[in-house]
Amino acid sequence: MASIKELASKGNLFAPGHRACAGCGGTIILRLVAAAAGENTVFIGATGCMEVASTIYPYSAWKVPFLHNAFENSAATASGVESAYRALKKKGKITKDINIIAFGGDGGTYDIGLQSLSGAMERGHKLLYICYDNGAYMNTGIQRSSATPFGANTTTSPAGSVIKGKTQQRKDLSEIMVAHNIPYVAQASLFYWNDLVEKVKKALKVDGPSFINILSPCPLGWGYDPSETIELSELAVATHFWNVYECENGKYKVNIKPKKEKPLEDFLFKQQRFKHLKNNPEILEQLRAFLKEKYENLLKKEEISAR
């Protein structure tokens, strides 16, 4: 497993001094991913919070090559980079191994970028796609996305007298990626940083495309104190709001099984976006039942994989 000393010895390839909000989960994710991947890496970032915060001209937080592209085509751009790299390496013009990592938020991954992501996975490009999932279009005004949880309050699914937050359950993008029959798919949490780092290393070693979905707490969009980002990352797993697992060549493994499960309310009610559910128990129970079924199905898939 990765150690703090090992990561610290590499320095910050994603430097401090960017314009992200205090307590932003996305910036922590990018620092960990960059440290795990190392300096021989090219990052391709979709328009979104992390691009806006890290690359406002003439400044950049990146100490490795970084390509910014439109909201919808991070994976398509990475496909082109990977194809060019493969051709140049075949001709002997490049000899060193280079990691290619594309990333985007849930808006640019679950929704607007899904077509290019699906195409890159289906074609089999050797690249890693990272989704920092904060559950809404945070950069443009906290609008709901297909990753927004059921019952969450956003500016386009406001909790009021008519509706009580988002009326649909969230899309399971990780399972959609598994359905592409790619070598490696995983979900991770910031609290379990060493698990996250090891998954990045494993993903970069596979011969083909890989995908990691990482829960990215957002103080502004979720409505919590910035100091609670890591705590919420732990609570999300302990309450089964977010499951930490991997699917390697079709075989499932649940990496974190909470020894002390906690009530879903411990996670939800630390956030303003779910405060209204205190007075809407029927919605809370629907969400709880959905999450319970998801976790139980995941355990069944792990059991089948172990046979």
How large is the average pLDDT for residues 209-236? 98
Q: Is the pLDDT of residue 72 over 90?
A: yes
Dump pLDDT digits (tens) for 152-183.
999 999 999 999 999 999 999 999 999 999 99
Q: Which pTM does this prediction carry?
A: 0.97
Q: Tell me: pLDDT of 3 over 90.
A: no
In angstroms, the CA 239 to CA 219 distance is 19
Alpha helices in 161-307 (DSSP H): 173-178, 193-205, 229-238, 264-268, 281-305
Q: Would you call 46 helix, strand, or coil by DSSP?
A: strand
Q: What angle, rounded to 10 degrees, do the helices at 25-37 and 193-205 form?
A: 50
What CATH number has the domain bearing residue 279?
A: 3.40.50.970
Instruction: Tell me the average pLDDT across 53-66.
Output: 94
Which pLDDT does position 7 carry in this prediction?
A: 78
Predicted confidence at residue 6, as pLDDT, reads 78
Q: 268: left (phi > 0), else alpha (psi -120 to 50), else beta?
A: alpha
Please, which pLDDT band fits residue 9 given cuts at 50, 70 and 90?
confident
Distance CA 208, CA 76 (A): 15
Cα–Cα nearest to 148, from 134, 162, 160: 134
Query: Reduced to 3 states, what is the DSSP secondary structure of residue 32?
Result: helix
Q: What is the mean pLDDT of residues 71-96?
A: 97
Q: Is 38 in contact with 236 (CB distance < 8 Å)?
A: no
Residue 2 has pLDDT above 80, yes or no: no
The parent domain of residue 220 ranges over: 4-305
Average pLDDT estimate for 180-205: 98
- Structure-block tokens of residue 204: 């970069």
User: 278-302 pLDDT, tens per residue?
Assistant: 999 999 999 999 999 999 999 999 9
pLDDT band at 99 (very low <50, low <70, confident <90, very high): very high
Averaged pLDDT for residues 65-91: 97
Query: According to the model, what pLDDT value does residue 5 have?
Result: 78
How far apart (Å, rounded) are the C-alpha atoms in residues 305 and 288? 26
Write down the pLDDT at residue 22: 96
pLDDT reported for residue 225? 98
Residue 118: per-residue pLDDT: 98
Whole-angstrom CA distances from 138 to 76, 115, 148 are 23, 21, 11
Q: Which helix (H) or strand (E) holds 31?
A: helix 25-37
Please say if the pLDDT value at position 18 is more than 80: yes
The whole-number average pLDDT for the span 233-251 is 98
Q: How far is CA 175 from CA 203, 278, 297, in A?
A: 16, 30, 12
Number of domains in the chain: 1
Mean pLDDT of 127-136: 98
Provide the mean pLDDT of the chain. Answer: 96
Mean pLDDT of 226-238: 98
Asked if pLDDT for residue 255 goes beyond 90, the answer is yes
Tokens of 210: 């890989």
CA-CA distance, 185 to 251, in Å (whole number)? Answer: 10
Phi, psi of 9 (to 5 degrees): -65, -20
Q: How far apart are CA 238 and CA 174, in angstroms?
A: 19
pLDDT at 23: 97
Between strands 184-188 and 128-133, the pairing is: unpaired
pLDDT at 4: 76
Percent of the chain with pLDDT over 90: 95
Say if residues 274 and 281 touch (Cβ distance below 8 Å).
no
> What number is the average pLDDT over the span 92-102?
97
**What average pLDDT does the segment 112-133 reach?**
98
